Structure 1
């Protein structure tokens, strides 16, 4: 299963993701939701939601990470620990749960892994059907994996930083083109594409999502790479071999589409031209205007967290930039590889990043605690950021009544931060892009 294609070689998967979603319907079972869905990635359970509007992203799989706000101005949908509350069932929550699972798949679609790419420009485009209160089409632009702009078919446009506003002010033609593409041309093109795919697959209704991504990545060591990828309902569907200008199928359904000649060769050539000729110019322009913002270095704030006396101690670093960072636990100055669980590098709402690494302390003797350190190594920062394992500085939500109150306040703040992070991730992954997938 393909995840990325490099210029100069026929694309093949440098890593593979095995994705699955299971759904369960029930009735008449006390305290059991009527509908439940769970997602797995490479055999690890990564997400759960049900018709009682509860959503969980497993702590041991994706640390303090992804919450999904599928309906952009609606209910936040992720918590590190599953809520125990019981809410009245209704069909809306069942449908919302199904949508959340599709959204979870979309986050896995391109299997985002932090990479050593120096600079990148990515344009995402999403068109959907059957999702209430969500714009049918959305586009977002990311520079170095940080969202720079967003727009949708409802004629909403958002620019995230003053540097990008200045760029558009000095280059009004770019904004004019973006408005034309996002508000007029692309919604029609992608809606037509989605309708044709649904018709071809004999799908007459329900929730369906078409996601398209174009990207240009520039690295001084490895050279330039270009990617054109398309996903349907959360699964890899079609990509483009940029050098050969050929379509590559990742699903039997896509095979049939390609074989029947429904793909438009001229559109493929146009997409390749945009990615290989226009995006490098735009990225260079973005780096010129955003140098102080993109090339900055921000040190993280590091905290030790523990949810119960027997749970692992989490070392949580947040607010750092760029995302090229390493984090680990050490003992006597040596990196530990056992009893350690690493989380992913994830974005914060303000464009910085966060990361977590857990240490199982069940076998650590109290007198040995001082031998353990959490180490954060940030790109372009010479000195390591070291936090010693110390009970006195661990933030908890257990213990005395005072600790419970303090823990509740901290937990509320963390939850708010996680909600904001989830909304940003959803906008980043689900607001999508500027070309066609590949119908005329």
Structure 2
């Protein structure tokens, strides 16, 4: 199991060829005077497409294709649903604080749910709640029950499991309704979400004595493999793979750093190998191919402000203050269901009571 905040951080990494994903993240905060009490974001295939916070109090599109595809009735309906959810999520922080015997301080109550659809028709769904950057409770779709991550969540688990109604309704949503809307949104943004763009690959170095990074950027979808070879053989020692980052235009970038001394790679052939969408790019590490920190292009690529990431940071900032770990994530396989709606948030009032 995994913290909801961690899922937010890796959410953009779930996109690759033949796979589509739809995710919603809700965050309520307390103890942050200049930060919205409640924020939501919807993400399809790693791209934020809807956004709401308690300051603007309006569900808004975050992609041009979304703004063009849905009219005022849709946005007004989503706004009213989210407003209805906002107060219950803010209240849940107080409930959780009571459970944990807390008074003041900074606190976050986070909720993530979503679904994935593979190219072969395989479906997955996940539904999890976290408090102060730690797991609180999650839905186990295979048993239609909830899993409490700590003793404080047991009261919630017992209540929700007593009738099975919430587990059944949310499982149905994840298995069917969520998939239906995922397909609809992918259809709206097909030209953007199903495009294929090959990476630009550069070898970067801050100074003549520092490590060398292989930087791939501008690629879409996000599934990329960056590896190193030494004298034609796989080399995975002294290699650090950076986080996947989303660029302002919705494409992605990633860096793999080779931590060997210059005299080592100068006397042995090192090669960076980047694989994306069946295409392989190989860059042999030589001095003339390295771009240093003084070159304008690499700095522009790496340091350039990423608007979409900033949107995610808005949601995650409070969680970063208390979140200290990252773990693995395994969504549950899907079965069947019915109906049609966008969010399932009308079913999430008084989460922790």
TM-score, structure 1 length as denominator?
0.65
Q: How many correspondences in the alignment? A: 323
- Cα shift at 1:251: 1.7
Q: Is 1:188 aligned to 2:84, yes or no? A: no
Structure 2: state its 5+ residue gaps. 320-342
> Is 1:137 matched with 2:25?
no
Query: Which whole-Å CA distance do the structure 2 matches of 1:329 and 1:216 have between them?
Result: 34
Cα offset, 1:305, TM superposition? 1.6
Q: Aligned ranges for residues 107-118 of structure 1 at < 5 Å? A: 107-108=5-6, 112=10, 114-115=13-14, 118=19
Residue 262 of structure 2 is aligned to residue 352 of structure 1: no
Change (3 A) 1:299 1:424: farther
Q: Distance in 2 between matches of 1:421 and 1:291?
A: 19
Q: Which has the higher contact order (CA 8 A, sep 6+)?
A: 2
**Counterpart contact for 2:4–2:128, Cα < 8 Å:** no
Unaligned runs of 5+ in 1: 4-104, 398-405
The answer on whether the counterparts of 2:272 and 2:282 sit within 8 Å (CA) in structure 1 is yes
Residue 194 of structure 2 corresponds to residue 295 of structure 1: yes
Cα shift readout 1:405-440 (whole Å, capped 9, x = no counterpart):
x35x66864564256465144147579986227347
For 2:120 and 2:183, locate their aligned partners in 1 and report how far apart those are by CA, in whole Å: 17
Partner of residue 229 from structure 2, selected from 322, 325, 330: 330
- The answer for the alignment partner of 2:336 in structure 1 is none
- Establish whether residue 426 from structure 1 lines up as the match of residue 307 from structure 2: no
Deviation of 1:378 after TM superposition, in Å, equals 0.7
Q: Supply the distance in 1 between the matched residues of 2:33 and 2:303 (Cα, whole angstroms).
A: 25
For 1:74, the equivalent position in structure 2 comes to none
State how far apart, in whole Å, the 2-side matches of 1:268 and 1:144 are: 25
Q: CA deviation at 1:179?
A: 0.9
Question: RMSD value over aligned CA atoms?
Answer: 3.1
Deviations 1:54-91 (A, max 9, x none): xxxxxxxxxxxxxxxxxxxxxxxxxxxxxxxxxxxxxx
Whether contact under 8 Å (2:88, 2:351) holds in the other structure is: no
Counterparts of 1:228-307 in structure 2, within 5 Å, are 228-259=127-158, 266-307=165-206
Q: Which residue of 1 aligns with 2:279?
A: 383
Provide the residue aligned with 2:75 in structure 1.
Answer: 175
Distance 1:431 1:288 in 2: 34
Partner of 2:292: 396
CA contact 1:106–1:429 (8 Å) conserved in 2:
no
Question: Secondary structure in 2 aligned to 1:344?
Answer: coil
Helix, strand or coil at the partner of 2:70 = helix
Does structure 1 conserve the Cα–Cα contact (< 8 Å) formed by 2:140 and 2:147? yes
Distance in 2, matches of 1:363 and 1:245, equals 56
